[in-house]
Amino acid sequence: MPITHDEIVDLNQRFHHVVFSHGDAAAQGAFFLHPDSRLCVPHGREYTFQEHYELHLEFEDERCVDPPQWDITQLRTDPERARAIGNVYWEGRPVNEPPGSLLKIMVCEEWIVERTSDGLKFVLYQSTSHTPLPDSSPLTQF
């Protein structure tokens, strides 16, 4: 059975719910096939689960919105894998900044996911670009 758009949206929302509620490194790692995976971001930076956890401790009021449609390419059937690419809207406010100081960023996500007996897991998690929106807080500097 092909991996569907709804499954990708569900994985994204469940993972980011854990991240935005400050789920620890182990809670974030549970979404990945390999326990020593990294989250890859622009400019060659890679985050361990612990580093990603610590990064998101610096933000409040985080949320993300899935794109209307993910570009999904089925890669193989055994194990069942797909590549998902989409521009996700992310916003968050740095801790101790006043209300209205939202960082607003379009994040291009490119993932490889695999269906397991526990549901979809990330095999590769890569954010290929972070583009601040015009109405983002001026604190946004990438």
- Domain ranges for the chain, please list them: 5-132
Beta-bridged to residue 25, according to DSSP, are none
Relative orientation angle of helices 5-20 and 49-56, to the nearest 10 degrees: 70
Q: Is the pLDDT of residue 22 over 90?
A: yes
Between CA 103 and CA 38 the distance in angstroms is 24
Write down the pLDDT at residue 138.
75
Write down the pLDDT at residue 139.
61
Backbone angles phi, psi at 12, to 5 degrees: -60, -45
CATH class of the domain comprising 5-132: alpha beta
| Averaged pLDDT score across all residues of the chain | 94
Dump pLDDT digits (tens) for 44-61. Answer: 899 999 999 999 999 999
Write down the pLDDT at residue 140.
45
Backbone angles phi, psi at 137, to 5 degrees: -55, 145
Dump pLDDT digits (tens) for 79-118. Answer: 999 999 999 999 999 998 888 899 999 999 999 999 999 9
Between CA 23 and CA 19 the distance in angstroms is 5
